[in-house]
Each structure stands twice: as C-alpha cells, then as structure tokens.
Amino acid sequence: MADTDRPVPRGRMRRTMPVAGFTARAAGGRMVAALRERAGDANAVERFHERTAERYADLLGHSKGVLMKAGQLMSMVDAQAVGGGELSPYQRALTRLQADAPPMDPALARSVLEADLGRTVEEVFAEFSPDPMAAASIGQVHRAVLPDGRSVAVKIQYPGVAQAIRDDLSNTELLSTVFRFAAGAAGAMGTAMPDIESAADEIAARIGEEVDYRREAANIAAFGDLYRGHPFIRIPEVVPSASGDRVLTMTYMDGMDWAAAQQADQELKNCWAEVIARFATGSYRHSNLFHADPHPGNYRFNADGTVGFVDFGCVKVLTERQRRLIVGVVRATIDGRRDDLRGLMVESGFFTAESTLSADDAYGWFAEILYELLADQPVMYTEQASARAVNSMIDVRAADHPMRRMSVPPDFVFFSRLNLSMNAIFTALRASFHARAQLDDQDGVAPPVSELGCRHDAWVRDRGLPYGTDDHDHH
C-alpha cells in the first residue's frame, strides 16, 4: 500500500501498541548502543539516535491526529539546549512534521471534499489544485480559485482522523508515553519531569478542538474581528459557501514561507519578529483569545513587514481570571515584584501558600523563563539566551530545580509552549527588537518606543480596545 493511501490507524489498541512497542525497543536499543560505544564502537550512541529519530518521526507522521500533533509540538523545543544536546536528531527529524506530513491521494481528497460539500469540485471552484501545498496533522491544504476570482486555501480533513483523535483522547496515557519517550531519549528528563499527565490533558483538550473545522471557522472570524484594520497583522476570511464539517475554505494569504523568511534581510526579520510577538501576546491583552499553536509554518511573511496568520484550529478562549493571572505573572516578573509574583503563582495553582518555595525562588525561576524581557533592550535572541528558558522549563535533573516542588497549572501549559516557541522562532530569525517595550505598551503601562509600537497603539486607541492590565469585564 502506498504511503498516500495508508489509512489513519483507528482503535485504542491499534493506536497505542505501535508507540508503546517502539518506545520499549528504543529503550533497549539505547542501552545496547551505549555498551557498544564503551567497547570501542565510536559514535554508536549518536548513530542510534539518528536512526531512532527518523523512525519515530515516520511513526508519528503516519499516525496523524493526536500523535502527529504531539510530534509537531515537541519539534518546536530547542533540543540543543536540553541536557547534552542528544535530542538534536529528534528535533531535526520531528521538524519534518511541521511542513512535510504524508499527504492523501488526490482522488481521496476530492471524494472527501465532494461528500462534505455535496457538490463536485468543479461546481465549487473555478480552479482547484489536486496536489496539496501543505499536509499537516489533521488535514492538508490545497490552492483553489472561487468563481468570483478570489484565491483561496482549502483545508481537507483526513478521513478517519476524527475517530482516531477520539480514540487518542480517551487514552491520555498514549500522549504521556509520547512525551516520556522524547524526554527519556536523551536521558534529560525521564521520570523527573513533573505532571506530564496534566500537560497531556491540556494539550489533548486543544488538539481535540482542532478536528472541528466549524469551530476553527468561528475562531478565524473572532481573530478577524479583533484585528480588523490592523496596520501589520493579517487574518484570512472564511468562505462559508465552500466550508463544512471536514472542509474549510479561507482567502489565500500571500507571502514567503518560513524557509524563505529566514534568508531575508535582518531589518525585515526584526520587524517580523515584533509583529509575531504582538500577535501572540496582544490577542489576550486586547481580547481574551489565546493562539496556542505558534509554529512558523502557520505564518506568511511579506516584504512590507506584514505577517499573515493562517491556522486557527488550536485556540484557547480565556476567562477574565485566566487572562488576568497570565498577564499578572508576567508583569510582576518584569517589575520585580517578588512577593506579588509568588502570590499570583499560588493563586494560579503552581504551588500552595505553604510551599517551601520562596518569593526569591519564584522570581528566579520566572526570570530565567522570561530572560529576554529582563535583559538590556533591544534584546537579541541567541541560542545561548534561549537555552535559559528551555532549561528552566524542561531540564529538571538538578535536585534543587524549582519544578520539582511545583506543578505547571493547565492554564499555563500552552503559555509555556508559547514562550518556548517564540524564543525558538526569534532565535532562528536572529531577531533583535524591544521585547519588553512591546508588552509594556500593550499592557498600557508605558508609551510605545518602536515605530511598529506607535502604529499598533494608534490602532488600539482608534478601536477603543482594552489594554492588558485593564479589567476586560468592565471595559
């Protein structure tokens, strides 16, 4: 059977056994490789990791659904910063899942579209490319042209993926196994990583929503309404007449892809970094929307400095309390209000008031995670600086690591991923910009200092939107 025709595995046991079996074999294989290296077989462990990483990425890629999405989530972690860098082969292999997922056969994609919309491809579109321009964990994307001449992107969901996701979500141990394997592969985290199950639960909740294309259409509309008239953030429009339960059509966003963007002039890359930062953090400062899947394959970069955002399946709508706590923790860290930070962490559920973690401990941990916000500004994102956040969140081998005495609350799971992902993206761009100032003006505590900040702030005032420190319930 060709890869393009391979069905999504279904059923709890069929989905779990390949991962569990692979994990067990890999654990034994690493031990054998280590013994061989001690016996004189140079680079045996390195070769083991290279082979295992490719097989692991292939397994997750063909599993699609939750398993593949988990691989995409892990691929955004800067693996060089974890332990001795042994996860690097896994980072490289899993990166393929960002933009190189195995696609459906063209005939199968056509049949899914026509069954969902109740019309033929030719009746819906004036032009339709049978070859996908992208394939991801839930579905794949085709270019098309509407009868009115508008260029559109058409997302088609893989057949069977909805049931596969339901199977996966009823088996939270499956996601935990995937994350434990990534941790144990380098011996960096292993069983020391606290609350893997809690993280898996929160991630599963967001992934479960991604299969609902009607929900994603509503998310796009919400973000489109929020960023209406924005000077440099671009959101597509949904085409309801060409969308359904398993098909989602939106206006096509022009721009460079991630590979091309990394080759652009540095000044332009700095501009894009600030735009991405303002989108990622401003959505829950000027509203209650949290875009929880910030990988660069979802961005379209333009020469005029604008950035288009094209995937809205993984969105968390925050309550005002959730929003206030996230913003409050960051602000208390930036301002150096250590006692306030500890109190907010207790209120958020990181630890209890009786914890032995002091205000200095709490501040020291968050200061490492948010290092770029506290550094001299404008800050340049480098591998060395970004490693601080990664090690604070991921490498918990040290006996006195604060995370051994705390739990990351569900509301902060995707906040942590957002922070790590932003660091990875900005580091890849070698970006330099006023990271702290863009938060300050969006929080409403200081005037903007950059040209982009002035334009953004004028837009906020013109729209009458709240700032991050405002009470949104009474705005």
**pLDDT tens track of the chain, all 475 residues?**
444 444 444 444 444 445 545 554 554 555 555 666 666 766 666 676 666 666 655 655 555 555 555 555 555 454 443 334 444 555 555 555 555 556 888 999 999 999 999 999 999 999 999 999 987 767 899 999 999 999 999 999 988 877 777 776 666 566 666 665 555 554 444 333 445 566 666 667 777 777 889 999 999 999 999 999 999 999 999 999 999 999 999 999 999 999 999 999 999 999 999 999 999 999 999 999 999 878 788 899 999 999 999 999 889 999 999 999 999 999 999 999 999 999 999 999 999 999 999 999 999 999 999 999 999 999 999 888 777 777 776 666 677 778 888 888 888 888 888 888 898 899 999 999 999 999 999 999 999 999 999 999 999 999 999 999 999 998 8
Burial label, 240 (beta-carbon count in 10 A; 0-12, 13-18, 19+): exposed
Q: According to the model, what pLDDT value does residue 72 have?
A: 56
Strands (DSSP E) along 22-176, which ranges?
127-128, 134-135, 139-145, 151-157
Residue in 403, 20, 416 with CA at minimum distance from that of residue 192: 403
Strands 139-145 and 134-135: antiparallel
Non-local (6+) Cβ contacts of 22 within 8 A are 55, 56, 59, 181
Buried b (16+ CB within 10 A) or exposed e, 376-408: eebbbbeeebbbbbbbbbbbbeeeebbbeebeb
8 A C-beta contact, residue 61 and residue 101: yes
pLDDT confidence of residue 424? 86
Active site residues: 293
Strand partners of residue 234: 308
Rounded CA-CA distance 386/312 in Å is 26
Query: Among positive and negative, which fits the CA dihedral 96, 87, 193, 430?
Result: negative
Backbone angles phi, psi at 177, to 5 degrees: -65, -40
Q: How many CB atoms lie within 10 A of CB 263?
A: 8
Cβ neighbors of 159 (< 8 A, separation 6 or more) are 7, 8, 104, 108, 112
The H-or-E segment that residue 332 falls in is helix 320-335
Count CA atoms closer than 13 A to 181's CA, side-chain side: 31
Decide: residue 427, CB within 10 A, 0-12 exposed, 13-18 middle, 19+ buried: buried
Determine the straight-line distance between the first and last CA of the chain, rounded to whole angstroms: 58
pLDDT recorded at residue 16: 47
CA-based torsion, 14, 19, 20, 21: positive or negative: positive
The secondary structure of residue 313, as a DSSP letter, is S
How many Å apart are CA 454 and CA 442, to the nearest integer?
11
Structure tokens at 327: 């913003």
CA distances, 394 to each of 280, 309, 391, 418 (Å): 22, 28, 5, 14
Greatest CA separation for the chain: 70
| Alpha-carbon span 48 to 33, nearest angstrom | 7
Q: What is the pLDDT of residue 405?
A: 87
The one-letter amino acid code at 17 reads M
- In degrees and rounded to multiples of 5, residue 435 shows phi and psi of -65, -45
d(CA 422, CA 189): 22
